[in-house]
Structure 1
Amino acid sequence: MKRFYFVLVLAVAAIGFTRADAANERMNVLFLVADDLNSWVLEDADRYAGKVIAPNLRRLAGSGVNFTRAYTAAPVCSPSRTAFFSGVAPWKSGIYNNAQTINKSEPLNQDAVLSLAGLFKKSGYDTFGYGKITHGWDQNEHWVEKVGHKRDPAPPGAPLAKLSGGEQDWGPIHLTEEQMNDTRGADKAVAVLEKQHDKPFFLAYGSFNPHMPWYVPPKYFDMYPLDQIVLPELKEDDLDDLPPLAKAVSDGTGSFADKVIKSGKHKEAVQAYLATTTYVDTQIGRVLDALDNSPYKDNTVVVFLTDHGFHLGEKLHWQKTTLWEEGTHTLLMFRAPGFTQAGGVSERFVSLLDIYPTLAELCGLTPPAYIDGRSLVPLLKEPKVPWESTAITGLCDKGKTDLAYVSIRHELGRYTRYGSEEEEFYDTTKDPHEWTNQIDNPKYATTVEKLRALVPGFEDAAEPLPTALTQERRETQTQKKKKKR
């Protein structure tokens, strides 16, 4: 009898130990994001293949699933980050420019929406954030520790490129690499990975670079000799077939892009962008190395993304805030132990909005019911599984909040609508640069109708986009107002 009791105690203890282990074995998350980094890094068939020095990002892409057709929900810093960190699309939140704050938006506000970090903290995770992760919607109470990004000071004599007195500048920085803020952010992320944790963690690291100005140590410029720089392909009459609102988005003649090209400094600018890209890759690599050398390597989901794309002269535009491929296409890669296999490539059209539900499912958490994205777990398991496109990007007219623009990126091509009447359509299989607007070509009439049908129901010129709500949310608001009365 005593022996039976002893065996029973051991069995119960073993069950308890297994459950405790299971609790401690919840997946950690390493969330990595870069600002303004375009998709040149991994365009294997493109002219930049092998010319962009980014061994760490390529290593990460090869270790899991690389989504080659991922798109931002908004081609601007704050709206994009608010979207993927809240899980709510811009056309429902109304967040379309950096000047807007989420607590003044409806239906989003600080109390009603749970950030991605908040979901993990609420679920028992320690949450750490270093560098530029969010922008304008920080929810500091959702982090155990959060240190935001700071811009590095301009070098003596700036502007160095002598083309702009603002942030649109580039050149070697006077700081050592160790003194740069993105390096210091990576230092903090590495320190978290080197510590012992008794709780699962959500660790985010975001680089400010390659946001302008491009100030990095000289060694990174030296990696890209000017005589070896390959410029983006440009078409002289590229803007001729655009509707008026699209031409206004491009900036066009007299813009900074036009100034760079006509001044003969286009190669210098591209060199600086590439140099800054390699600096970012170096810092991301340090964090990845720290994870790989830690006991958390096999129990940590890694996701890397860029918040939107970046123009370097294409369509006579510089930076972001457009609905063309250069402004909307992003990098997105996942490594999830037990779900992904090395070398996975998915060509399905996906959105950064899909990140929130994906991480929730991978870690066994329940996301809020209101989020708009879809979990990518089926694609992590099988990258070629059939998938309905979710690649929709929204934008508002410059300086306005009452004129809606929307673009659908799909296997059929790209359809874009500016307001209620002006449109573009590109057959991207034949025209990857989006040089020829086929909206009036009868050959594509059926295709255009199919894509028009995919435009979210919010988009209506008669109703300002930022205040447009779903019918369900309107009814909920009406009920609340009646109760208050």
Structure 2
Amino acid sequence: MRVGFPLNRFVLLIVLALPTTGISVAQVNEKARSKDSSRPNVLFIAVDDLRPQLGCYGDTVAHTPNIDRLAKIGIVFNRAYCQQAVCAPSRASVLTGRRPDATKVWDLKTHFRTALPHVVTLPQHFKQQGYDTRNVGKIYHDPKNAQDPISWSAPEIMAVTDEAGPKYVLTENLPTAGSWKAAATECVDVPDSAYVDGKVGNAAVELIEELKDTTFFLAVGFRRPHLPFTAPKRYWDLYDVDEIPLPAHDRAPENTPEIALHNSVELRGYTDIPDVGPMSSGKIRELRHGYYASVSYIDHQIGRLLDELERQNLLANTIIVLWSDHGYHLGELDLWSKTTNFELDTRVPLIIASPLFHHQHVHTDALVELVDLYPTLADLAGLPITDGLEGTSMAPLIANPNRTWKKAVFSQFPRPWMYQGEPEVMGYSVRTADYRYTEWISTNDKSVKAAELYHYNEGIETANLVDQATYSKKQAVLRRLLHDGWKKARPGNAGKSASSKKH
């Protein structure tokens, strides 16, 4: 059954009349952006490097009252997964509704339009349907050449870090010639707007007021808690550093192949972090403290957006989605940052609140993927779902969070990392309710270079069980799931892949 708002017939009539009336495209866009109370707005909030370290996900240390407030009126997806655990590939996947092997974005430099020059992105689709689409902060990856102006109704605001505002405040931490990294953390008693994300919050609040009389798709992207962990002092003060827990599992899983791991190069480049070798427990606590402080800093910005929606009487007619491009390691498995197929890197927070449903404290354990967001938001807004999408509309699941859903979800990561072009080896990973199976496959001869099998009885990878006799049947089932791919893992009778819907 189709779940959604009715299409804007007024806009459709204008478009159909174009050839004979002589109305300009600019006039059509202006009329299309006039307020239609029958269609919901969309507030699309992206947070970089945010793992489910939030109160609404059961973290008892985190101070995240505003994200928790959103969770109370929406649905919390306990088992949501990205398609590749690093910024550019994940964001390209979300915004095109295609998986990394379709976008050909496996690194930080390739633009998705190189392989898909005519693809209609998620915001572009809403724009074509008459929405005023705007962007504040990091939605596509940061560099200028990674942006996509055709997606938006107006130029992006603070979409590139160097133009958006500082990562640091202290003079000694400001980048110098030939260097772009300083300390991994910074704690200074300054206003929120001293750092980039406070500026993004300010601009987003102003845009909500500007757009209140239109039907809008507003994308707001926050950069913290990405390194460096820099946030105003008042967010650090929410935590007692001695109560910040150390990583529960701080060593690599037993029998795990070297190709599955990495050397935490993203963190090691900071000036107060040793290039190699272990870090002190004090430094580990400081980093984890900084991560929590950065999360709370972003939580406050999100609260400001919710407050402004409420002040403008928009909360009751706005779909709100909060997502992160990937997860993160904070010393678990002796890893920092992302770029693996492990659970902490691929699992992400995902919360959706829709005016169609009146959820209260609702969680679902259904397996879902970020690539599902494109068809889901189109479905919830009553828009046609474009051909070629590789995700599944979650609207039926949002309507009934306890229904049977996907058998499995899929992630991947290349080796070597940061290699532009087709990688030498790709690690393809399938996650079911209790297991993960990964194969590292040569792109040249398709041979399997290594394999991994994990049972999540402890919630994290502890030992690679591949080729153990006890798990041989389970391994065979998971291998078949991996090779059958995402199309055969979809729900059986509802929530079909958007690519199978014809409009």
Provide TM-score, normalisation by structure 1. Answer: 0.82
Q: Distance in 2 between matches of 1:127 and 1:173?
A: 35
1:211 counterpart (184, 208, 226): 226
Contact 2:262 2:340 survives alignment (8 Å): no
SS of the aligned residue for 1:60 comes to helix
Letter of the structure 2 residue corresponding to residue 142 of structure 1: S
Letter of the structure 2 residue corresponding to residue 64 of structure 1: G
Pair 75,167 (structure 1): closer, same or farther in 2 beyond 3 Å: farther
Contact 1:261 1:313 survives alignment (8 Å): no
- Within a 5 Å distance, the mapping from 1:159-308 to structure 2 comes to 166=181, 169-173=184-188, 175-195=190-210, 197-236=212-251, 238-248=252-262, 259=277, 261-262=279-280, 264-308=282-326
2:469 counterpart (429, 436, 442): 442
Residue 421 of structure 1 corresponds to which residue in structure 2?
A: 449
1:33 counterpart (34, 46, 59): 46
Letter of the structure 2 residue corresponding to residue 415 of structure 1: Y
Asked if residue 317 in structure 1 is aligned to residue 335 in structure 2, the reply is yes
Pair 458,339 (structure 1): closer, same or farther in 2 beyond 3 Å: closer
Give CA-to-partner distance per residue, 1:84-107, whole Å, 9 cap, x none. 011010022221111222233x3x
Contact 2:139 2:221 survives alignment (8 Å): yes
Contact 1:358 1:376 survives alignment (8 Å): yes
Residue 142 of structure 1 corresponds to which residue in structure 2?
A: 151
Deviation at 1:242, TM superposition (A): 0.7
Residue 64 of structure 1 corresponds to which residue in structure 2?
A: 74
Q: Distance in 2 between matches of 1:33 and 1:27?
A: 19
Deviation at 1:340, TM superposition (A): 4.4
Q: Distance in 2 between matches of 1:128 and 1:103?
A: 20
SS of the aligned residue for 1:157 comes to helix
Q: Distance in 2 between matches of 1:250 and 1:242?
A: 16
Asked if residue 396 in structure 1 is aligned to residue 419 in structure 2, the reply is no
Q: Distance in 2 between matches of 1:458 and 1:384?
A: 24
- Within a 5 Å distance, the mapping from 1:40-189 to structure 2 comes to 40-42=53-55, 44=57, 49-104=59-114, 106=115, 108-109=116-117, 112-135=118-141, 137-145=146-154, 146-147=156-157, 148-150=159-161, 151-154=165-168, 155-158=170-173, 166=181, 169-173=184-188, 175-189=190-204
Letter of the structure 1 residue corresponding to residue 381 of structure 2: C
Pair 232,118 (structure 1): closer, same or farther in 2 beyond 3 Å: same
Give CA-to-partner distance per residue, 1:163-207, whole Å, 9 cap, x none. x98366112147532232211211122122223644310011110
Asked if residue 350 in structure 1 is aligned to residue 363 in structure 2, the reply is no
Residue 445 of structure 2 corresponds to which residue in structure 1?
A: none
Pair 87,55 (structure 1): closer, same or farther in 2 beyond 3 Å: same
Contact 2:108 2:418 survives alignment (8 Å): no
Contact 1:308 1:327 survives alignment (8 Å): yes
Q: Distance in 2 between matches of 1:196 and 1:153?
A: 29
- Could you list the runs of 5+ residues in structure 1 that have no partner in the other structure? 1-14, 460-471, 473-485
Give CA-to-partner distance per residue, 1:312-360, whole Å, 9 cap, x none. 1112211111111111110000000123422211101110000000000
SS of the aligned residue for 1:349 comes to strand
Give CA-to-partner distance per residue, 1:146-170, whole Å, 9 cap, x none. 211425143222389xxx9836611
SS of the aligned residue for 1:454 comes to helix
SS of the aligned residue for 1:68 comes to strand
Q: Distance in 1 between matches of 2:389 and 2:54?
A: 30
Letter of the structure 2 residue corresponding to residue 100 of structure 1: T
Q: Distance in 1 between matches of 2:370 and 2:306?
A: 21
Pair 382,424 (structure 1): closer, same or farther in 2 beyond 3 Å: same
Pair 149,279 (structure 1): closer, same or farther in 2 beyond 3 Å: farther
SS of the aligned residue for 2:126 comes to helix
Q: Distance in 2 between matches of 1:79 and 1:408?
A: 18
Letter of the structure 1 residue corresponding to residue 469 of structure 2: P
Provide TM-score, normalisation by structure 2. Answer: 0.79
Deviation at 1:290, TM superposition (A): 0.8
Contact 1:72 1:308 survives alignment (8 Å): yes
Letter of the structure 2 residue corresponding to residue 244 of structure 1: E
Deviation at 1:390, TM superposition (A): 4.8
Q: Distance in 1 between matches of 2:263 and 2:469?
A: 26
Letter of the structure 2 residue corresponding to residue 203 of structure 1: L
Q: Distance in 1 between matches of 2:358 and 2:81?
A: 21
- The farther-off stretch of 434-443 and 370-379 is 434-443
Q: Percent identity?
A: 30
- The farther-off stretch of 175-184 and 50-59 is 175-184
Residue 359 of structure 2 corresponds to which residue in structure 1?
A: 341
SS of the aligned residue for 1:453 comes to helix
Q: Distance in 2 between matches of 1:202 and 1:196?
A: 9
Letter of the structure 1 residue corresponding to residue 96 of structure 2: S
Contact 1:239 1:247 survives alignment (8 Å): no
Contact 2:346 2:411 survives alignment (8 Å): yes
1:409 counterpart (396, 413, 431): 431
Q: Distance in 1 between matches of 2:431 and 2:358?
A: 25
Contact 1:171 1:216 survives alignment (8 Å): yes
Residue 432 of structure 1 corresponds to which residue in structure 2?
A: 459
Greater Rg by CA: 1
Residue 18 of structure 2 corresponds to which residue in structure 1?
A: none
- Could you list the runs of 5+ residues in structure 2 that have no partner in the other structure? 1-8, 14-31, 442-447, 487-498
Contact 1:353 1:372 survives alignment (8 Å): yes
Asked if residue 376 in structure 1 is aligned to residue 376 in structure 2, the reply is no
